[in-house]
Amino acid sequence: MDLMNGTQVTVFVFSGLTDDKKLLPFLFILFSLIYIISIVGNIGIIALVYNSYKLHSPMYYFLSVLSLIDVLYASVISPKMIFDLLLVNKVISFTGCALQFFFYAALGASEDFLLSTMSYDRYVAICHPLHYMSIMTKKKCLCLVSVVFSVGFLQSSVQTSCTFSLQFCGSNLIDHFYCDVPPVLKLSCSNTFYCNMVTLCIVAIGTVIPFLTIIFSYMLILSSILRMTSAKGRKKAFSTCSSHLMCASVFYIGLFFNYLRPPSSVFSSQDKVSSIFYAVVTPMLNPLVYTLRNQEIRRTIEKAMHNLSAADRISSVFRHKMGT
């Protein structure tokens, strides 16, 4: 598809986060730290899962995929947004805008469906523990992840092709800090009714189905936990679900505030704050939640830190002996 066919606009300009120049240095430092924590935290989770044999289970395999999505998801928006804080003219090409939205929507949808897949994994682990490994085989996990990415990228392809095939022949000022469908559609001089309906249907269906899957899974999980006679068993079951439940809650709170609400003609500062939370902060929270709430992850981190400390002491002793 030729994105430039029939359009006079070749570049878009972002309005940015704020017009207050005094805030820009603070925001630059803040969002740079958030981005660094997001990347380091999620790559750390991937490394832990890959290197620790105890974490080689479907639950942590899905967690490592979630961390991979968050690394890519944060990198689609944050670097450009941070760099723009230093610039007067926050410019992005038409094709660059389309690509940014494509990967942003694809990865967001993939995370949405992955969270529902993780809830299914928790349902099988708690409600059918004796058959867990026979149900959640390596092949099935790979198939589920493949479906997650396929649906996410297919959904994004439809939205992107619909939006960026429109005519853009007027203002090129996007009242936002990244390319998202609602502010971009406001700039089109074509009839946007069809694209608005497509976006609404895709976001609604792509949100409601995974959300209901999570709710239904946890209803069955809760029912199974309440039937357990052992208090220790109930506590362990709750602890294995709490991290995922918190991550899903954070994701859907941001999603609902960002998209599933009545549209307004003016993109307010509150809209930008909700977008920051959803697109920038959420990727940082997932590794923090699992680090703080998941005992197995914490034990693995503590063991790795202990091994590093021991290796450092041995290295120091060896260097001291070599010196003498």
The domains of the chain are located at 11-293
Question: Two tokens at 269?
Answer: 């500062």
Q: Which residue has the higher pLDDT, 97 or 234?
A: 97
Amino acid 319: pLDDT: 61
Asked if pLDDT for residue 4 goes beyond 60, the answer is: no
When mean pLDDT is compared over 9-13, 136-140, 227-231, 314-318, the highest value belongs to 136-140
pLDDT one-digit tens code per residue, 9-55: 889 999 888 888 888 999 999 999 999 999 999 999 999 999 888 88
- Calpha distance 83→78 (Å, rounded): 8
Distance CA 268, CA 266 (A): 6
Q: Look up the pTM and report it.
A: 0.88
Q: Is the per-residue pLDDT at 267 higher than 60?
A: no
Residues 238-260, mean pLDDT to the nearest whole number = 82
List b or e across 267-295, with b for residues whose CB sees 16 or more CB atoms inside 10 angstroms.
beeebbebbbbbbbebbbbbbebbbebbe
| CATH number, domain 11-293 | 1.20.1070.10
